[in-house]
Amino acid sequence: MSTLTGKRILLVIAGGIAAYKALDLIRRLRERGASVHAVMTQAAEQFVTPLSVASLSGEKVHTALFSLTDEAEMGHIELSRDADLIVIAPATANILAKIANGIADDLASTLLLATDKKILAAPAMNLRMWLHPATQRNLEWLRANNVAFSGPDNGEMACGEYGPGRMSEPLAIVSAIESIFAQGETTLPLPPGVGVRPSRPPGILAGRRVIVTSGPTHEPIDPVRYIANRSSGKQGTAIAEAAARAGAEVVVISGPVAIPAAAGATTIHVETAREMLEAVSRALPADIFISAAAVADWRVDAAAGDKLKKSGSGAPSLHLVENPDILATISQHPTLRPKLVVGFAAETTGLIEHARQKLARKKCDFIVANDVGAGTGVMGGAQNTVHIVETGSVDSWPKLDKDAVAARLVGLCAQKLAENAQ
């Protein structure tokens, strides 16, 4: 079995007349059991075609840094680190200069800077380019920084001159590759401590389980129409995300909304108030329950099976019945009441008084009251003005973005839990 069996080679083909030798190099490597992924510079495509390279390697050839398809399938970081060794053949003066000077202006040069693998370069260039002080300076730096070389050889150039600069023959490059693998590990370590994600202090809700209801409910009248409200779910979603950032395990029970689900939380989608209550009940037990959803108070007692049609005799008569009270049910649960139950009161008149009545009636720990009257822009908007209503006190917060309201509310919940534990 060849020493190259199962090895993954990333071959960078730069732009030079010697690029044709890369085709034979691919064939020699595959004969020995190695797999070859190729990256070609734009200049290399002037000498050999990606189709020729792909036909010999049996793999897709990568050419463009900003190819959306490539970035979705295998970005340049992954491409540069998925291989066991990177080989540049031919390695032009240009690409060697880019590596030595930290230039990343195409796919090849970018992945060569981003890789964590050893690099073997097979230089190929005019003898005066090879002997130029700038090239020799670059070579000195590269040799000192984990870049190995195969060649160049002395010989006749395509330009007619004779001297150093001729690319090594494919079998000589294969031999150099085998020598590198014989030396052992080809992954280059980072300096101690670099690349290690710093540990984060535990969040203020670490180890807690939080259930948040969010958005409206839709109560069907018939297969087409429903009773609903203007809630966007933005405030509930913001609260869920803030709780997740604080380290909590978060479950969101969301009515129909048109915004993305809360990041870092598990979202359960429901439609009606009865479905929401059932989902909340299944999600128990929890440390905190925040009832931020704007649940429809009523539903049609029996939704029509077919679309209600105009008959010329006036509007249909709808018999409404009360929906279950989710906040009161959870707040007064005989066995699984969360340690902290928070309700919301969205009002258009008598805000604080109605919130106090709701607090007493629902028996929750405190109410977040907000004015949703015409002109406030709260329903569906990005900001909110809330009042924390407790038995015997009201704390009015300034107008804040809903994200800021959420963060402040999560902090208050953590504080309340800590106080209750004392």
pLDDT at residue 159 tops 70: no
The pLDDT score that the predictor gives to residue 380 is 66
Shortest CA distance to 7 belongs to which of 170, 236, 178?
178
The residue-averaged pLDDT of 13-18 equals: 91
Q: Is 364 a catalytic residue?
A: no
The pTM for the full model equals 0.56
Q: Which pair of tokens denotes residue 82?
A: 């998925």
Banded model confidence at residue 202, pLDDT cuts 50, 70, 90? confident
Q: Which of the following is catalytic: 159, 188, 320, 336? A: 159
The mean of the pLDDT values for the chain is 89
The reported pLDDT for the residue numbered 243 is 96
Q: How confident is the model at residue 278 (pLDDT cuts 50, 70, 90)?
A: very high
The reported pLDDT for the residue numbered 98 is 94
Tell me whether domains 8-182 and 209-297+320-421 share a fold.
yes
Question: How confident is the model at residue 94, as a pLDDT?
Answer: 94
What residue segments make up the domains of the chain, in order of their start? 8-182, 209-297+320-421
Mean pLDDT of 60-76: 62
Supply the pLDDT for residue 189. Answer: 77
91-135 confidence digits (pLDDT tens): 999 999 999 999 988 889 888 988 888 999 999 998 889 999 999
**pLDDT score of 397 more than 80:** yes
Residue 105 main-chain phi, psi, to 5 deg: -120, 10
Task: For the chain, state the CA radius of gyration.
Answer: 34
* Neighbouring-strand partners of residue 254: 214, 269
Sign of the alpha-carbon dihedral angle for 184, 185, 186, 191: negative
Of all residues in the chain, what percent carry a pLDDT higher than 70? 92
Per-residue pLDDT band for 82 (boundaries 50, 70, 90) equals: confident
Overall average pLDDT of the 176-198 stretch:
79
User: What CATH number was assigned to the domain covering residues 8-182?
Assistant: 3.40.50.1950
Mean pLDDT across 359-382: 84
Residue 70 reports pLDDT greater than 60: no
**CATH number for the domain running over 209-297+320-421:** 3.40.50.10300
Mean pLDDT of 342-357: 92
